Amino acid sequence: MRSIRKREHIENYLKTTFQGDTLLGDVFLEHNALPDLNLDEIDTTLEFEGKKINFPLLINAMTGGSSLTMEINRDLSTLARDFKIPMAVGSQTIAIKDDEDAIDSFKIVREIIGDEGVVISNLSGQASVEQAKQAIDMIDADAIQIHLNPAQELVMEEGDREFRGIINNIEAIVKAVDKPVIVKEIGFGISEDVAKRLYNIGVRYIDISGFGGTNFVEIENLRNQAFDFTELYSWGIPTAASLINCRKLPKDLKLISSGGIRNSMDIVRSIALGAEITGISGELLSYVIHGGYLNAKDYLDNIIHKVKILMLLLGKKNIEQLKNTDYKITGRLKDLV
């Protein structure tokens, strides 16, 4: 069942047409006509989860658990290795609960990326401490993502309807595992209040995964025979609003910006707003599915080149300096932060 659902998510993702807005376009960054820098001095490297990476972009959780997803994970992890960027696997519940054969489709990610790279586990907020430990061991993960997805579950006909106790569950995982725990949404954003509650139980990494990219209300609606949820397609906190509001918490809360990250401007704006790193899922998946590794490689090469250009145009030599970029908030975003 889970394996079929995972396949349908990918197929339905490709069928989605609703275009949400991250509101990252409402973030204005000022042009610097006199940057005292050369392009080849721009340094996009940084440290993430104790390892050096080449660029502030994470291939975010998507898949695993079947032969199709094994092929996709092969391409994604080859990209992560070649670009020296982190990768999170899709939910490992399938390999823990349902189907031991699915384990290989996750293990391949660590095998390809090797010990030098950053690989991140993924489970839902319903996971037990034991399952979290198993997921980490399965791929020798550097960190674990715990996803929160109530909107998706409620639109999914066979989805969960009970959400009590998830925060206690996460607290137990944070206390018991010896790797960083990243709590993430899946495209509807994290509010300042939710971030505070997570911070108070010891969470120090949040992937805000906001609205404006992959839309799981639409993806699930395409598989739901019982209800039509079209009117909920605009539900969610736009990525830029979620990021700015969560950034009001203390600086030792590290933020990952994802949800609708598609191009160099999205990445540069996210880092200027205070994200440690950005995450990409749907857009990269499209490039992999429509043209394989080489197509996706061209796409990433392009983004990295343009991020370097933008850093130069802001007069920022490295990612630390880019984090300290002044910005102005315009348009609708002003009302939401």
Ligand X SMILES: Cc1cc2nc3c(=O)[nH]c(=O)nc-3n(C[C@H](O)[C@H](O)[C@H](O)COP(=O)(O)O)c2cc1C
Q: Does 322 bind ligand X (CB under 6 A)?
A: no
Residue 25: Cβ-neighbour burial (10 angstroms; 0-12, 13-18, 19+): middle
Alpha helices in the chain (DSSP H): 2-15, 67-83, 93, 103-113, 129-139, 150-155, 166-176, 192-200, 216-221, 239-246, 264-272, 282-314, 319-323, 333-336
Binding mask 79-98 for ligand X (x = CB under 6 A): -----------xx-------
Q: Does 56 bind ligand X (CB under 6 A)?
A: no
3-state secondary structure of 32: coil
What is the closest distance, in whole angstroms, from the C-beta atom of residue 124 to ligand X in the complex? 8
Q: Does 213 bind ligand X (CB under 6 A)?
A: yes
46's tokens? 């940084």
What is the closest distance, in whole angstroms, from the C-beta atom of residue 132 to ligand X in the complex? 14
Pairing of strands 254-257, 205-207: parallel
Binders of ligand X among 272-301, rule CB under 6 A?
280-283, 285
Cβ closest to ligand X, residue 289 vs residue 313: 289
Q: Are 157 and 226 in contact (CB under 8 A)?
A: yes
Q: Say how far apart CA 205 and CA 30 lie, in whole Å.
A: 29
Report which of 190, 197, 201, 182 is spatially closest to residue 244, judged by C-alpha positions: 190
Pairing of strands 143-147, 181-184: parallel
333's tokens? 């975003």
Cβ closest to ligand X, residue 42 vs residue 261: 261
What is the closest distance, in whole angstroms, from the C-beta atom of residue 326 to ligand X in the complex? 26
Cβ closest to ligand X, residue 3 vs residue 214: 214
What is the closest distance, in whole angstroms, from the C-beta atom of residue 279 to ligand X in the complex? 7
Binders of ligand X among 62-81, rule CB under 6 A?
62-63
Binders of ligand X among 115-134, rule CB under 6 A?
122
Q: How many residues bind ligand X (CB under 6 A)?
A: 27
Cβ closest to ligand X, residue 60 vs residue 270: 60
Closest residue to ligand X in the complex (CB): 213
Binding mask 191-210 for ligand X (x = CB under 6 A): ------------------x-
What is the closest distance, in whole angstroms, from the C-beta atom of residue 273 to ligand X in the complex? 16
Q: Does 259 bind ligand X (CB under 6 A)?
A: yes
Exposed e or buried b for every residue in 47-68, given b needs 16+ CB within 10 A?
ebbeeebebbbbbbbbbbbbeb
Binders of ligand X among 228-257, rule CB under 6 A?
none
3-state helix, strand, coil in the chain (%, to 5): 50, 15, 40
What is the closest distance, in whole angstroms, from the C-beta atom of residue 138 to ligand X in the complex? 14
Member of 53, 57, 59, 61 binding ligand X (CB under 6 A): 61
Please report, as ranges, the residues that interact with ligand X according to CB under 6 A.
9-10, 13, 60-63, 90-91, 122, 145, 147, 184, 186-187, 209, 213-214, 258-261, 280-283, 285
